[in-house]
């Protein structure tokens, strides 16, 4: 079809990552010798636990394909881990994936056909839309608003967007990009809605341990009806091994897991050496998670304290994960991000955040919103946020002058 310039419709319509597409701008800024504080990408800076590397060093023999479901020992570790959270997954309910990304893709593929749709809560983790489009699945969205703390939208909003082709609801908890941890009542309302409309729930729980202020992130598995639930999980954020590409998909629904197994077989196996190393991570004491959550909580406080006094900002205190979303008193956050890279620096330093427009499916939403990933130490974060607010002030003055 000429229209697509010789490519598939899928290829030509795939959304570019709203974050990664700005990287050429920051590369250019860095080449000019300006230091860029990267608060734009959600990749933790904390050290990978040494036990992972120590185990990998003992790897020998053949780096062959593992079973397509993953190494049995790793699946057993996952099962024990879930049981600590009172989530009753047996080894046979779990398949190891190439990160949470593949788990989400498999989950969508297992329940939705091309032309079907899935419900996301916008602003959403931007790759969800790419995974769905790749499979020819439509994304429809209910909107959570900055002014409401990005809380779960009212169920009437879900009723309004659902179609006869809607197959599932997909959302993370704790949340990316907003750091929301949903209450039991919010999650129960989604469960009730899903049951009433015979939808699956694809629940992305990759940030399970990272919660603040003593809150617990409830798993959707805490609400029963296990045959309707698919859990997408990952070790990337929990153990700071984003590069290892290890996650898991888990469900009590045997028909779903049989289908997922066929998908897993088609891609042969997840990375063998990473799986082997990851087994050791499950032996870390619980204090490991507590320390990690406390570190992110400290950073959350720094970012929130620095930003909350910006005139005109709408900012909510995140309760989990390592992101903060905010509405800024600006016209266009993508322009602002580019401007911060191209036209602004303070003592030869600038700050890069992620514009939130690409985290929405509804046109023009999120245009004045940004996401900050607090993946730097507190001291750097404080400076990065202060540079951001200095830049913002000048950006807005510049606009006023331009209009005159
Ligand atoms: C980072 C992330 C993922 C996927 O990460 P993987 O490295 O593929 O495991 C999935 N969901 C959310 C919400 C994320 O932030």
Q: Which of 373, 51, 40 is nearest to 207 (CA)?
A: 373
Q: Tell me the CATH architecture of domain 50-281.
A: 3-Layer(aba) Sandwich (3.40)
Nearest ligand 1 atom to alpha carbon 321: 15
9-46+287-396 topology per CATH: 3.90.1150
Handedness of CA 147, 149, 150, 155 (dihedral sign): negative
Q: Quick check: 375 and 44 in contact, CB under 8 A?
A: yes
Nearest ligand 1 atom to the CA of 125 is: 13
Helix axes 333-342, 378-403, angle to 10 degrees: 110
Ligand 1 neighbourhood includes 234 CB (under 6 angstroms): yes
**C-beta separation of 265 from 70 below 8 A:** no
**Is 18's C-beta closer than 6 angstroms to any atom of ligand 1?**
no
Q: Which atom, in ligand 1's list, is nearest to the CA of 176?
A: 13
100 Cβ closer than 6 Å to some ligand 1 atom: yes
> Where along the chain do its domains lie?
9-46+287-396, 50-281
User: DSSP readout, 306-357?
Assistant: HHTTSTT-EE----BTTEEEEE-SSS-HHHHHHHHHHT--BTTEEEE-EESG
The answer to whether the CB of 217 falls within 8 A of the CB of 173 is: yes
- Answer whether 247 contacts ligand 1 (Cβ < 6 A): yes
Residue 102 alpha carbon, nearest atom of ligand 1: 8
Give, for all 404 residues of the chain, the pLDDT tens digit.
456 778 888 888 887 777 788 999 999 999 999 999 999 988 888 999 999 999 999 999 999 999 999 999 999 999 999 999 999 999 999 999 999 999 999 999 999 999 999 999 999 999 999 999 999 999 999 999 999 999 999 999 999 999 999 999 999 999 999 999 999 999 999 999 999 999 999 999 999 999 999 999 999 999 999 999 999 999 999 999 999 999 999 999 999 999 999 999 999 999 999 999 999 999 999 999 999 999 999 999 999 999 999 999 999 999 999 999 999 999 999 999 999 999 999 999 999 999 999 999 999 999 999 999 999 999 999 999 999 999 999 999 986 666 55
Q: Answer whether 179 contacts ligand 1 (Cβ < 6 A).
A: no
Q: What is the pLDDT of residue 14?
A: 81
State if pTM tops 0.85: yes
Instruction: Identify the helix (H) or strand (E) that includes residue 254.
Output: helix 254-266
Reported as type and span, the H/E element at residue 234 is: strand 229-234
* Ligand 1 neighbour 236 (Cβ under 6 A): yes
* Size of the chain in residues: 404
| The ligand 1 atom nearest the CA atom of 235 | 9
- Helix (H) or strand (E) holding 230, with range, is strand 229-234
Q: Which of 240, 248, 360 is nearest to 291 (CA)?
A: 240
Give the pLDDT of residue 401. 63
Task: Assess contact for 82 and 250: CB atoms under 8 A.
Answer: yes
HSE toward the beta carbon, residue 259, CA cutoff 13 A? 16
Residue 19 has a pLDDT of 79
- Dihedral angle computed from the Cα positions of residues 35, 39, 42 and 46, in that order, rounded to the nearest 10 degrees: 70
Cβ(221)–Cβ(213) below 8 Å: no
Cβ burial, residue 186 (10 Å; 0-12/13-18/19+): middle
What pLDDT, on the 0 to 100 scale, is given for residue 403?
A: 55
What's the gap in Å between 331 CA and the centre of ligand 1? 29
Q: Rounded distance, CA 41 to CA 101, Å?
A: 16
**Token pair listed for 284:** 């870390």
* 259, two tokens: 């289908």
Q: How far is the CA of 227 from the centre of ligand 1 (A)?
A: 23
């Amino acid at each position: 079809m000429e229209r697509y310039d010789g490519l598939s419709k899928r290829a030509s319509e795939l959304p570019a990552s709203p974050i990664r597409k700005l990287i050429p701008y920051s590369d250019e800024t860095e080449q000019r010798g300006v230091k860029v504080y990267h608060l734009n990408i959600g990749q933790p800076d904390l050290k990978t636990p040494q036990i992972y590397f120590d185990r990998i060093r003992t790897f020998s023999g053949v780096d062959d394909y593992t079973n397509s479901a993953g190494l049995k020992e790793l699946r057993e570790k996952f099962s024990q881990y879930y049981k600590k959270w009172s989530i009753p997954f047996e080894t046979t309910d779990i398949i190891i994936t190439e990160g949470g990304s593949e788990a989400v893709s498999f989950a969508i593929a297992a329940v939705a056909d091309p032309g079907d749709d899935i419900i996301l809560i916008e602003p959403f983790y931007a790759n969800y839309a790419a995974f769905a489009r790749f499979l020819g699945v439509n994304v429809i969205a209910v909107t959570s608003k900055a002014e409401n703390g990005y809380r779960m939208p009212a169920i009437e909003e879900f009723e309004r967007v659902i179609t006869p082709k809607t197959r599932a609801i997909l959302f993370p908890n704790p949340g990316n990009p907003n750091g929301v941890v949903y209450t039991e009542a919010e999650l129960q309302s989604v469960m009730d809605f899903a049951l009433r409309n015979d939808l699956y729930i694809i629940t992305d729980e990759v940030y399970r341990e990272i919660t603040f202020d003593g809150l617990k992130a409830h798993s959707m598995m805490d609400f029963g009806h296990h045959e309707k639930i698919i859990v997408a999980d990952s070790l990337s954020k929990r153990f700071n091994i984003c590069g290892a590409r290890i996650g898991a998909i888990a469900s009590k629904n045997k028909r779903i897991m049989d289908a997922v197994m066929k998908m897993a077989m088609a891609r042969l196996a997840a990375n063998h050496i990473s799986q082997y190393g990851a087994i050791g991570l499950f032996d870390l004491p619980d204090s490991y998670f507590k320390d990690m959550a406390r570190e992110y909580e400290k950073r959350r406080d720094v970012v929130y304290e620095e930003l909350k006094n910006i005139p005109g900002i709408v900012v909510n205190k995140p309760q989990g994960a390592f992101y903060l979303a905010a509405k800024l008193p600006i016209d266009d956050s993508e322009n602002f991000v580019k401007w911060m890279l191209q036209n602004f620096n303070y003592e030869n330093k600038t700050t890069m955040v992620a514009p939130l427009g690409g985290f929405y499916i509804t046109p023009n939403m999120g245009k004045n919103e940004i996401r900050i990933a607090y993946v730097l130490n507190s001291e750097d974060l404080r400076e990065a946020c202060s540079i951001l607010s200095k830049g913002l002030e000048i950006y807005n003055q510049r606009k006023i002058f331009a209009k005159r």
